Amino acid sequence: MQAIKPLTPPSQKRILITEDDDMVRRTLKLLLVADDYAVTEARTGEEALALLNGERFDLVITNFEMPRLRGNELALIIKRQLPSQPILMMTAYAERLGDCDNPVDAVLAKPFRIQDLRNAMAKLLGAPPFKVLGRLGEAGANSQSCTAMSPEQAKANPAKITRVANVLPELVDAT
């Protein structure tokens, strides 16, 4: 008997995460579900393509360096079939992006802050950027509004891609 999938509320955006590292993929899912996204996971590019053949997603988030089918190769296939599909690429190898065809809409360098991920997603989903708020709920001196770089900017300026402490393992350990 096949399990019945719960309906996604109409206001909830659907996200497909393609990441071969189980810890990173599960942590991203945890974070995005907490932000009220409906999240589907794929361990490989092939799994992602199979999911995209039967479902529609508001955003595809993919890792760059994966076995068999790299993130840029996955993005090429997706863009051929679904040219308007927004794709956000995460990578720890920004310097390698200059050597490949990469049709993604934005690049986020690993490690990254949760705020940077949220703002890149907001930009691609057409939502206002998230703000880091002060303790009283007002934007303060530490508030930030970050945007993702285009793939062309990332290729031309790999050193400018945000690189900060990786907080994802801390969140996994806390669960």
Angle between helices 114-125 and 22-34 (to 10 degrees): 70
E strand or H helix at 119: helix 114-125
Write down the pLDDT at residue 103: 81
Domain boundaries, the chain: 14-174
DSSP annotation of 41: E
Query: Given this model, what pLDDT does residue 94 score?
Result: 72
| Rg for the chain, CA atoms, rounded | 16
Can you list the residues of the chain whose pLDDT is less than 70?
Answer: 1-11, 95-102, 128-175
Amino acid 127: pLDDT: 74
According to the model, what pLDDT value does residue 110 have? 85
- The predicted pLDDT at position 97 comes to 63
In the chain, how many H helices and how many E strands? 6, 5
What is the value of pTM for the model shown? Answer: 0.69
SS3 assignment, position 140 = coil
CA dist 104 and 68 (Å) reads: 19
Tell me the sheet residues that pair with 102.
none
Q: Do residues 130 and 122 make contact, with C-beta atoms less than 8 angstroms apart?
A: yes
Indicate the CATH number of 14-174 among 3.40.50.2300, 3.40.50.620, 3.40.50.300, 1.25.40.340. 3.40.50.2300
Cβ atoms 18, 66 nearer than 8 A: yes
pLDDT at position 137: 37
Q: For 112-138, b where at least 16 C-beta lie within 10 A, e where not — what string?
A: bbbbbbbbbbbbbeeeeebbbeeeeee
